[in-house]
C-alpha cells in the first residue's frame, strides 16, 4: 500500500500522521506540549533578563507513543501496514540522558532558551571561525552551549559524560533511542548541522569545536543521511516493528515536503517561530547578511545546502494574545479581527519575547507595542501581531536577496497559513506571489517522503516533486510604495526595541 508514518515533534505539540504515497492524510493524532519557564536557580550565573524555556522529555516520549497508536487507529490500520516511519523535530532542543536507565538527567532545554547568552556575548569574536565550519554564529539558539550548561550545572554530569555513561541528542535522537529501546543512538546531517559542533564542510563532528565548547565526544550520536536505515521500532510498542527510514529537522523536512529541490527555491514555515529556507544546491554559501548556512538534507552521501533565516516568534505571538493577554479566545479569531479594520493606524507589535533572531541576532531585545492611541483597540493589536510575521519575513528575504538570489515566489506552510488574510498580507508586504500547498503539514510530509525514499516507495526526488500540488496562490494587491512605507515603520519600531 505504500503507507508512511510521520512523527512530527514540535515546540508546542506532538503529532503523528499516516500518509499514503501521494501525501494524502489517512490518520492524524496530536497532543499539546506545555512549555516550562523556570526561574534561574540559586547560584546559577544567568542575567535577570534571560529567558529560560524547558520541556519534559519524558512527556514528549509518552505523547509520541500515544499519538502513533492513535494515528494508526484513526487510519484503521495495524503497524505492519506501514512501509516506513520518518521523524521530524524541533531542532536545537537539547536532551542528555543516562544510557543505562534511559532517564533524562534534566528537563530538555528548548531552542528558544537564552540562558547561555552571557557566554555567547563573550565569544562574539569567534563568529567567523565558527561560521566557516558550521555556517552558524555564536548564539544560545544552538545546542552546543546548552550541552555545556547541562554538564556544568547538573551535579556529576561532566564526569559521567566523560566516562561514556550519558548520551546527548536533539529530539530526533531522543525519540530514536526510545523507539529502538536504546539500540540506535544516531541523528541525521540536518539536525547535526544545528548543534554548532558539526562541520558541515567535512560532514563530521569537529574536534576543535568540541574542545571550544568543552563537549565530550562520547556524548554524541552517529550522523547518518536524512534517508537511511535507522533500525526499527521495538515490536511491543505498536504491535509490530516499524522500519525507521528518515530523519530531518523540522525546517529541512518542510523544505522537502514543499519539494524545494532546485537551487533558488524557497519555503517559509509558520509555526511557533518562522523559518525561511533557500536551497543553494551543493554549494556551502556563507551569508554576509547574518543569515545561517545549513544542511538542507544529505542523501546517498551527497549534501545539499541552504541559507536560512530564523524568526523566534510567529505563531507564538498569537498564543501570547490568547494565553497571556486574553485578547482572543482562539487563534481562528485573528482573521476576522484583522479584516475588521482597514489598517493598524500606525500600531506596530515587535514580538521580541525571546530576543530577535535573523538578521539581528539580538538576545537582549524585548517585545513592545508602538503607536498606541486612544483609538487603538484589540483589533489593532491583533492585526499588528499578524503583520509582524510578514515584516519579519521581509527582513529575511531582503537579506537573502543580498546574499544569493531574490526568490520570485515563496512556498508557505504551517498552521498559520490556513489564515487567508495573513497569507494575502504576506504577498502584499513581501511584494511577491505566495503559494500555499494542498497539504500544509509539509513538515510531517517531508519526514514521510524521506522514509518513503529509504523504503523504495519513491524512486527519486523528482518522483516526490511530481506529487506536490498548490492549493492557492496569493499575488500582491497592495501598491509597492505603500508596502515600502509600512516596512519603514517596522524598521523604526525594531530599532526602538534594540535601543531599550
Beta bridge partners of 410: 434
- Output the pLDDT for position 255: 95
Domains of the chain: 3-251 (3.30.420.40), 260-437+469-500 (3.30.420.40)
- Output the pLDDT for position 1: 59
- pLDDT means per 10 residues in the chain (500 residues)? 92 94 94 85 46 94 98 96 97 96 96 91 93 93 96 96 97 98 97 97 97 97 98 96 97 95 92 89 88 94 94 91 94 94 96 89 89 96 96 93 84 90 96 93 94 95 94 96 97 86
- Output the pLDDT for position 499: 62
- Output the pLDDT for position 362: 87
| 426 closest CA partner among 366, 486, 360, 367 | 486
Between CA 95 and CA 154 the distance in angstroms is 12
- Output the pLDDT for position 49: 54
- Output the pLDDT for position 47: 47
User: What is the pairing mode between strands 186-188 and 204-205?
Assistant: unpaired
> Structure pTM?
0.87
Between CA 367 and CA 325 the distance in angstroms is 13
**Hey, which bits of 380-442 come out as E strands?**
410-413, 434-437
Between CA 19 and CA 449 the distance in angstroms is 9
Cβ-Cβ contacts under 8 Å for 80 (sequence gap 6 or more): 239, 240
Classify residue 329 as left (phi > 0), alpha (psi -120 to 50) or beta: alpha
Half-sphere exposure of residue 488: CA atoms within 13 angstroms, side-chain side: 5
Half-sphere exposure of residue 343: CA atoms within 13 angstroms, side-chain side: 12
C-alpha separations of 139 from 41, 159, 290, 393, 415 in Å: 22, 26, 12, 20, 27
Cβ-contact 165, 98 below 8 angstroms:
yes
Between CA 77 and CA 71 the distance in angstroms is 9
- Output the pLDDT for position 50: 66
DSSP string, 184-241: --EEEHHHHTTTT-EETTTTEE-HHHHHHHT--GGGPPEEE-SBS---B--HHHHSS-
CB count within 10 Å of CB 55 equals: 25
Amino acid at each position: 500500500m505504500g503507507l508512511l508514518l510521520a512523527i512530527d515533534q514540535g515546540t508546542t505539540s506532538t503529532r503523528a500522521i499516516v500518509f499514503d504515497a501521494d501525501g494524502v492524510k489517512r490518520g492524524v493524532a496530536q497532543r499539546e506540549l506545555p512549555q516550562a519557564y523556570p526561574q534561574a536557580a540559586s547560584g546559577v550565573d544567568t542575567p535577570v533578563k534571560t529567558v529560560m524555556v524547558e520541556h519534559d522529555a519524558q512527556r514528549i516520549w509518552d505523547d509520541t507513543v500515544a499519538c502513533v497508536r492513535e494515528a494508526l487507529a484513526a487510519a484503521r490500520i495495524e503497524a505492519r501496514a506501514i512501509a516506513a516511519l520518518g521523524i521530524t523535530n524541533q531542532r536545537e532542543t537539547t536532551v542528555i540522558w543516562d544510557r543505562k536507565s534511559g532517564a533524562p538527567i534534566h528537563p530538555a532545554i528548548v531552542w528558544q532558551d537564552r540562558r547561555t547568552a552571557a557566554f555567547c556575548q563573550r565569544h562574539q569574536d569567534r563568529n567567523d571561525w565558527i561560521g566557516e565550519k558550521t555556517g552558524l554564529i555564536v548564539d544560545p539558539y544552538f545546542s552546543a552551549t546548552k550541552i555545556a550548561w547541562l554538564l556544568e550545572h547538573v551535579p556529576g554530569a561532566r564526569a559521567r559524560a566523560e566516562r561514556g555513561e550519558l548520551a546527548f541528542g536533539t529530539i530526533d535522537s531522543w525519540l530514536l533511542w526510545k523507539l529502538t529501546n536504546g539500540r540506535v543512538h544516531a541523528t541525521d546531517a540536518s539536525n547535526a548541522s544545528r548543534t554548532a559542533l558539526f562541520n558541515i564542510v567535512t560532514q563530521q563532528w569537529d574536534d576543535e569545536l568540541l574542545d571550544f565548547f568543552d563537549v565530550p565526544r562520547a556524548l554524541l550520536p552517529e550522523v547518518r543521511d536524512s534517508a537511511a536505515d535507522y533500525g526499527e521500532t521495538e515490536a511491543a510498542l505498536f504491535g509490530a516493528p516499524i522500519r525507521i527510514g528518515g530523519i530531518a529537522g523540522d525546517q529541512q523536512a518542510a523544505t522537502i515536503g514543499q519539494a524545494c529541490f532546485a537551487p533558488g527555491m524557497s519555503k517559509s514555515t509558520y509555526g511557533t517561530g518562522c523559518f525561511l529556507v533557500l536551497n543553494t544546491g551543493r554549494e556551502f554559501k556563507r551569508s554576509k547578511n547574518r543569515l545561517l548556512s545549513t544542511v538542507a538534507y544529505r542523501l546517498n552521501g551527497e549534501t545539499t545546502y541552504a541559507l536560512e533565516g530564523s524568526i523566534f516568534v510567529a505563531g507564538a505571538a498569537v498564543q501570547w494574545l490568547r494565553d497571556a493577554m486574553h485578547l482572543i479566545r482562539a487563534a481562528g479569531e485573528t482573521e476576522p479581527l484583522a479584516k475588521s479594520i482597514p489598517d493598524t493606524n500606525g500600531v506596530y507589535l515587535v514580538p521580541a519575547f525571546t530576543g530577535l533572531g535573523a538578521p539581528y541576532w539580538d538576545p537582549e531585545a524585548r517585545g513592545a507595542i508602538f503607536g498606541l492611541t486612544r483609538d487603538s483597540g484589540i483589533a489593532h493589536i491583533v492585526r499588528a501581531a499578524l503583520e509582524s510575521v510578514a515584516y519579519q519575513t521581509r527582513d529575511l528575504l531582503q537579506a537573502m536577496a543580498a546574499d544569493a538570489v531574490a526568490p520570485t515566489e515563496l512556498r508557505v506552510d504551517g498552521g498559520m497559513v490556513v489564515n487567508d488574510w495573513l497569507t494575502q498580507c504576506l504577498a502584499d508586504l513581501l511584494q511577491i506571489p505566495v503559494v500555499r500547498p494542498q497539504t500544509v503539514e509539509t513538515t510531517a510530509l517531508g519526514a514521510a517522503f524521506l522514509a518513503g525514499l529509504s523504503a523504495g516507495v519513491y524512486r527519486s526526488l523528482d518522483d516526490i516533486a511530481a506529487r506536490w500540488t498548490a492549493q492557492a496562490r496569493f499575488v500582491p494587491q497592495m501598491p509597492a510604495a505603500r508596502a515600502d512605507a509600512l516596512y519603514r515603520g517596522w524598521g523604526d519600531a525594531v530599532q526602538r526595541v534594540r535601543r531599550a
